[in-house]
Amino acid sequence: MSPKRARTRGLPQTGEAEPKTLDALNAMIAASKPLVPGATRAVLGEGPLGAAIAFVGEQPGDKEDRQGRPFVGPAGQLLERAMSEAGIDRHRVYVTNAVKHFKFEQRGKRRIHQKPTPGEVEHYRWWLDQELKLVHPKLVVALGATAVLALAGKPFSIARFRGRIDFRGHAGFITVHPSYLLRMPDKSAKEQGYRDFVRDLQSIRRLAAVSALHPATARKRGRSAAAGRAPRSASRSAHSR
């Protein structure tokens, strides 16, 4: 996306150059004001530069907002448990969010999470693009619908497109958000949902271990990046499938 795009409330302004380092990008994000007032701070992505896998969530929750770290609340704990069962070390992957500020409704003492609107997701998208450019993961994982919208630029059904996908030039993977599993009321459905999630994470670990994961490279070598299945492209119309 063009850095010339006019933005408000501390996001990149007309003519602002793309940051050259993740520290520079993070300084820009940290200095910005929330689009919807209330959040304590911007919650930055976390993990090593050049991590093989980048996980993208929706937005920080209450705990993340208080601690200033992504995925440290209940959804983060579930994600970390599932990662560990799938053989993924959280400290060796990059974890971030599509939206950098917590949006909530105050109910008494509780701050209840509010889903970001498509306009809010779009508002933060330039940053996510810059972040992924700088971290340069082999595989970008969308956790849930908001992350898919941010990465693909349009909505995709998780049920239909779950699995390997291309996000505008990034090798990607769509899976559910851990909060979705936490909210499932039925115990056995929840257990099955968790097992499916761990299975997705195992596929993600294997895919990220494939050295030539970029679709163009994989095509050149005459093989699909995913075992026996051609990746779908999120840059083509989702509605044509």
Contact between 26 and ligand URA by CB under 6 A: the answer reads no
Of 183 and 236, which CB lies nearer to ligand URA in the complex structure? 183
Pick out residues in 74-93 that bind ligand URA (CB under 6 A).
75-76
Q: Is 60 an interacting residue with respect to ligand URA (CB under 6 A)?
A: yes
Residue type, 210: V
What one-character DSSP code corresponds to residue 221?
T
What's the min distance (Å) between Cβ of 94 and ligand URA? 13
Does 215 interact with ligand URA (rule: CB under 6 A)?
no
H or E element in which residue 174 lies: strand 170-175
Closest distance between ligand URA and the C-beta of residue 211, in Å? 29
Binding range to ligand URA, per CB under 6 A, among 54-62, 154-162, 217-225, 229-237:
54-62
Shortest Å, Cβ 17 to ligand URA: 28
**Which of these, 160, 141, 148, 27, lies nearest to 83 by C-alpha position?**
141
DSSP codes joined into one string, 8-55: -TTSPPTTPPPPSSHHHHHHHHHHSPPSSTT-SSPPPPBS-TT-SEEE
DSSP 3-state assignment of 163? strand
Give whichever of 26 and 179 is closer to ligand URA, judged by the CB atom: 179
The two three-digit tokens of residue 101, written as one number: 């500020």
Segment near ligand URA (CB under 6 A); pick from 59-67, 115-123, 152-160, 211-219: 59-67
The DSSP code sequence of 82-146 is: HHHHTT--GGGSEEEESS-S--EEEETTEEEE-PPPHHHHHHHHHHHHHHHHHH--SEEEEESHH
Closest separation between CB of residue 198 and ligand URA, Å? 18
Please tell me whether residue 59 binds ligand URA under the rule CB under 6 A.
yes
CB atoms within 10 A of CB 58: 24
Structural Rg of the chain based on CA atoms: 17
Binding mask 94-123 for ligand URA (x = CB under 6 A): ---x--------------------------
Is 59 or 130 the residue whose CB approaches ligand URA more closely?
59
137 binds ligand URA (CB under 6 A): no
Angle, CA of 148, 149 and 154, to the nearest 5°:
120
In the complex, what is the shortest distance from the CB of residue 220 to ligand URA, in angstroms, rounded to a whole number? Answer: 35
Residues that bind ligand URA (CB under 6 A): 57-61, 64, 70-71, 73, 75-76, 97, 179
